[in-house]
Structure 1
């Protein structure tokens, strides 16, 4: 009987231990409804790892911006996600989309991470979480971003969003690429208007003598 009780207690304790990592991985934003209310992307200017200012308009100037909010350089899921997106860089570019990572990391950490992963897109530093908060993806209990992706059109409209429910929750990069709207079709080139050709009156045959 005693062994049975001990066995039951051990089973319950083991189950609780197994559930702890899952519970710890769950994240909540400080303002859960913020991302749903957003239709127009908040404008911003952040500094990239090369200490150059980057505006939202710089990213949407040639099409769409894919904003990748990640927790930080220390997060293995973030590094994996950034690497997968980097492997698809050429395909995003061909679709008219520019990638950019955003986190609360310092400029030094952004530079180290970009070099380590050989990223072809910029990492923007938001140490005060000003942009992260404006997009409604600041984590409730930590000064980091909830893993999220926003696709912003050239006119500043949010056309796609994905906010992770846990620190490991990321969208499939293929689905993110598929969510990029196709570029507008170019109008067909105008054909030159035909010129009016003036016809010369035919010479009348001369009278025979």
Structure 2
């Protein structure tokens, strides 16, 4: 992994086609939410498939926790669709046959002489594609468990949302006075409830460009 892809850095805003062959920009897929990116070897890898199945089971919690998911693979379009369908993953799969991500991040799995793939990584991003955590999954146990993702996202949310603890007297006072600036998504610089619901549903074509950023 490139040395500059560390906690606090901005992850590259790649544009790649998704499983419908529609070009997607990572920041558009993210909106103003968190994001978990799975860089996968591809359809053939049983380790990646097992991790994918765990993420599928975890996904309902990610959705209500304002967290997007995206998978990036070097498979072709047809194989990418098979991969997504056979794991029942509801999120976007981006395919990168030209190995743009593999080359840019310097994650070619050089020990695999049969496939030109990426070393698997799982990356947790805060708002604005800010890197919160990078997991190297070359060995399966290097990948985050659902419990680890939960803990990482909890800490990320605690740092991100100013209304994390609404029992604080000063927050209660602000709300009672009609000052919602510190409350998500009601604040002046936040997003509409409509956009929030669209992001939770993954309806990127409807919400892209609406979020105001934070």
Q: TM-score, normalised by structure 1?
A: 0.69
Written as runs of structure 1 = structure 2, the 5 A alignment for 1:47-66 is: 47-66=17-36
1:191 maps to which of 164, 177, 184: 177
C-alpha distance in 2, partners of 1:192/1:101? Answer: 41
Deviation at 1:125, TM superposition (A): 0.1
Which position in structure 2 is the counterpart of 1:156?
Answer: 129
- The residue aligned with 1:85 is 55
Contact 2:29–2:68, Cα closer than 8 Å, also in 1 = yes
Q: 1:100-123 CA distances to partner (integer Å, 9 max, x unpaired)? A: 111101111111111111111111
Assess, with a 3 A threshold, how the Cα gap between structure 1 residues 167 and 106 changes in structure 2: closer, same or farther.
farther
In 1: Cα distance, 2:137 partner to 2:107 partner: 9
- The Cα shift of 1:165 comes to 3.7
- Secondary structure of the 2:148 match is helix
**Cα–Cα, structure 1 residues 189 and 161, in superposed 2: closer, same or farther, change >3 Å?**
same
Aligned to 2:99: 129
Distance 2:7 2:57 in 1: 32
Q: Distance in 1 between matches of 2:133 and 2:55?
A: 16
* CA contact 1:65–1:99 (8 Å) conserved in 2: yes
Aligned-pair RMSD on alpha carbons? 2.5
Question: Counterpart of 1:177?
Answer: 150
**Cα offsets for 1:156-181 (capped at 9, x unmatched):** 21111101243674221221232121
**Structure 2 residue aligned with 1:46, among 16, 36, 40?**
16
**Structure 1, gaps ≥5 residues long:** 1-30, 194-209
Asked whether the equivalents of residues 7 and 133 of structure 2 are also in contact (C-alpha less than 8 Å), the reply is: no
Residue correspondences, number = 163
Shift of 1:74: 0.6
Aligned residue for 1:69? 39
| TM superposition score normalised by structure 2 | 0.67
Contact map agreement 2:5 2:131 (CA 8 A) in 1: no
